[in-house]
Amino acid sequence: MASGYIGDHRIRELEKLMRKMCQSKGYDLDTAFKGLLDYLLWMFDPDGRKPDGWRFDHEDALMFYQMAQAYFTVIAEELKHGEWYDAFGDLYMALHPGGGGKAQFFTPPHVCTVTAECCMAGMKIDDQPKTTTPFGKRHCINDPAAGSSRLLMAGAAYYKRMQKAEGMDEIQQATHRPYLIAEDLDYNCVKMSAINMAVHGHFGECVCHDSLCEPDQVRLGYIVNEMMCPFPTNIPSIRRYDDPLRFVTTRQWKLRREQSQGSVEADSNKVAPASTLPDPVQTEKPKQPQQLTLW
């Protein structure tokens, strides 16, 4: 590694291992990065399902195992003196100094912290409505363009500080942890979000879809840390689901669309006078619902 290295020093060893794999096996950096994400998702999957499109051999898996060890070491060290750390976001930016083909640059941690404080300052935990989630009724923190979920992790950290300020002990804080909802168009971002939530001990869901144009659809979705509820097993898990009704963020839009279609069908069965029928040429298509909630 050159002396003028500009990446985050904390993920330098992980980056070295990934570049070494690419040099020895002939993979490009994007292929190796996606492979590491799929390897970790496979590791955390309670069903042990092989990821779709898995193309790596046994030797590759051993290299991914070394990367996973380096990743967990970094996370363990950072969480000793910090609230959260997004190693994958820093790794991606180190591998793609110019932002890569998609020009992705992840929000700096201190900006995430300030944003979370601005959005949540002045809130009282007991005054906020709760939502029915796979983990019971919980407060939800949502980001419809989550990236690697840095804002969500900053929001969860601020929520924990709010709990402490209201006198909750560690057991109460763990029992009443919030439910994080990450939505993004990019498959890799959704996978990074799921792994970040899992290793930080958060409950949540990660959904790949367009939160504006297809809020009731699921291209790829994960429920995170089911193995920690209702009993605190401390065993992280990431389970894949494809049913929109499994996710808080898509269920409300799915049910709303079905209700809307039912009402339209009921109205179409009614016979109206010819003079009141709309001109089919001028009839507008129903607008799709737009999800605007940021937090």
pLDDT, tens digit, for every residue of 88-97? 999 998 888 7
pLDDT, tens digit, for every residue of 240-265? 999 999 999 999 888 888 887 776 56
Q: Which of 254, 236, 251 is nearest to 195 (CA)?
A: 236
What confidence tier does 99 reach under pLDDT thresholds 50, 70, 90? low
Residue 243 confidence (pLDDT): 93
| DSSP 8-state secondary structure symbol assigned to residue 108 | P
User: Is residue 196 within 8 Å of 88, Cβ to Cβ?
Assistant: yes
Strand-pair category, 238-241 with 179-184: unpaired
CA distances from residue 111 to 7, 117, 129, 142, 150 in whole angstroms, order as listed: 18, 10, 27, 17, 10
- SS3 assignment, position 205: strand
What confidence tier does 295 reach under pLDDT thresholds 50, 70, 90? very low
Global confidence as pTM: 0.84
pLDDT, tens digit, for every residue of 262-273? 765 666 666 544
User: Is residue 85 within 8 Å of 79, Cβ to Cβ?
Assistant: yes
pLDDT, tens digit, for every residue of 138-192? 999 999 999 999 999 999 999 999 999 989 998 888 888 999 999 999 999 999 9
What confidence tier does 101 reach under pLDDT thresholds 50, 70, 90? low
Residue found under tokens 């950096």: 29
What confidence tier does 49 reach under pLDDT thresholds 50, 70, 90? very high
**Residue 138, token pair as written in the block:** 């919980």
Q: What are phi and psi of 89, to 5 degrees?
A: -60, -45
Residue 289 confidence (pLDDT): 45
Q: Which residues, in sequence order, are CB contacts of 77 under 8 Å at separation 6+?
A: 10
Does residue 201 have a pLDDT over 50?
yes
Q: Which residues, in sequence order, are CB contacts of 169 under 8 Å at separation 6+?
A: none
Residue 76 confidence (pLDDT): 95
Q: Which residues, in sequence order, are CB contacts of 75 under 8 Å at separation 6+?
A: 85, 87, 199
What Rg do the C-alpha atoms of the chain give, in angstroms?
22
| DSSP 8-state secondary structure symbol assigned to residue 20 | H
DSSP 120-137: HTT--GGGS--EEEBTEE
